[in-house]
Chain A
């Protein structure tokens, strides 16, 4: 995808890559209580495994708008069992919108959320174990 032409000054252009927005959105969504994680595509997961590097923009899709400095964000998330789904999604939408707008100055018109699954407390240790194993490999 072509980078967002953010602004042009006398010193040069400022462009923002969609990966930057993806990472900001992914981190903002993950920090909301009740969000168990982001859900990426099979290809993304494979790349993550092969490169042994956590993809922070996993499960985030960004489309730059026709209007100046606007974008649409789509997120695929897995939520923790027991959370109120509409309430948590609303918080995620607000958090993502606020994070992108404050960090980049872009206007976020839409934050669509796709809840792909729920994660049960019994699944959690497995996930945590995977993350710690990954850290050990990196360390």
Chain B
């Protein structure tokens, strides 16, 4: 998202907060339509309100189009001599999970895939056995998964984010959130 979009989004959020506050004030009877009429007594004020509302409607429409238009395909395309080769994100997930689950100390392994600048980005959620060196296991996971995916698919793995969520046979969860 560009800087302009971030600014527009912040403005839209402020407008939404303002509209929400006004809605609450109207609902509770703190502000009535009489007060509003008092605020905009002359035609110029009413024009300002219309213009500001239109600007925010346009900003809202811009983000709606942005959201609807941006659907990332869930595959990576490799150009080939006789045609394209598309590798689905499911394939990357399966390869990553199969590799990760074979690493010593890993109890369960889940992968999410996203597009990167020149390849793919992986986020893995791992449940590990107790009494293991978590830092070393995480490092092993990154090396093994990156090496296996790059070797079998020819697609560059730009980054692997390892999120250790739980220790097996213990109720203590560190986090359930995905690291983005």
Contact = CB atoms under 8 A, between A and B. Distances in A.
B91 A113 contact: no
Given A97-B82, A116-B91, 5 more contacts: A73-B83, A82-B152, A89-B85, A110-B84, A118-B94
Interface string B83-94: 111111011001
A16 interface: no
The bracket for how many chain B residues form the interface is: 20 to 34
Given A90-B80, A93-B80, A85 B88 contact: no
B75 interface: yes
Contacts of A35: none
The bracket for how many chain A residues form the interface is: 20 to 34
B7 to A, nearest CB: 40
Interface string A57-76: 00000000000000011000
B153 interface: yes
B84 A115 contact: no
Interface string A70-97: 0011000001011111100110011001
Contacts of B75: 114
Interface of B: 75, 78, 80-88, 90-91, 94-95, 98, 151-154
Contact of A84 (B84, B88, B90, B152): B152
A29 interface: no
A110 B154 contact: no
Interface in A85-134: 85-86, 89-90, 93-94, 97, 108, 110-118, 120
B34 to A, nearest CB: 60
B94 A112 contact: no
